[in-house]
Amino acid sequence: MLYFAYTTLIDPRHMEKAAPNASFEFVAHLPETKLIFPVKDGQWKGGLPSVLPESGNTVWGAIFDVPTKELKALDEVEAAEGRVRVKRSAMDRAGKRHDVVTHAFEPNGNKKYKPSSQYMSVVVKGGRHWSLPAGWIAGLEEYVV
């Protein structure tokens, strides 16, 4: 199953710990999707990321091929932060669409929190590792204080 990673699971060490048999496939984005921070977490000391369909935006991430038996482990990791599995359509750099799963928070109104600097530093590290677009990485770095 193709999995779109944009949370701390984009970091190779985090992904390997949760799904040791997952393999990186390619970089892609969720078109017409916005990165939001709708839930505040005490452990991470700030807002945690989620994705929300919204015209005119895009969210970049890494696509992994995750064995079906290991998807449950990803569900558990993301559920610990409050996210649930959702289906999306990702687009690779060549413009080809792929059906993927990822995790997002259930809609909770218009709550917005200052992103966790510590959390986003892990996301930035993973994004750099997989060579996500420089402009996307620069935007994420603004959340790291």
Domains, the chain, ordered by start? 2-141 (3.10.490.10)
Q: Residue 115's closest CA among 59, 63, 45?
A: 45
Give the Cβ contact number of residue 62 at 10 Å.
24
What digits encode the pLDDT tens for the residues 73-100? 999 999 999 999 999 999 999 999 999 9
What's the mean pLDDT in 13-35? Answer: 98
> Which residue carries 């393999």 as its tokens?
23
Q: What's the predicted TM-score (pTM) here? A: 0.96
User: Where residue 106 falls among pLDDT bands split at 50, 70, 90?
Assistant: confident
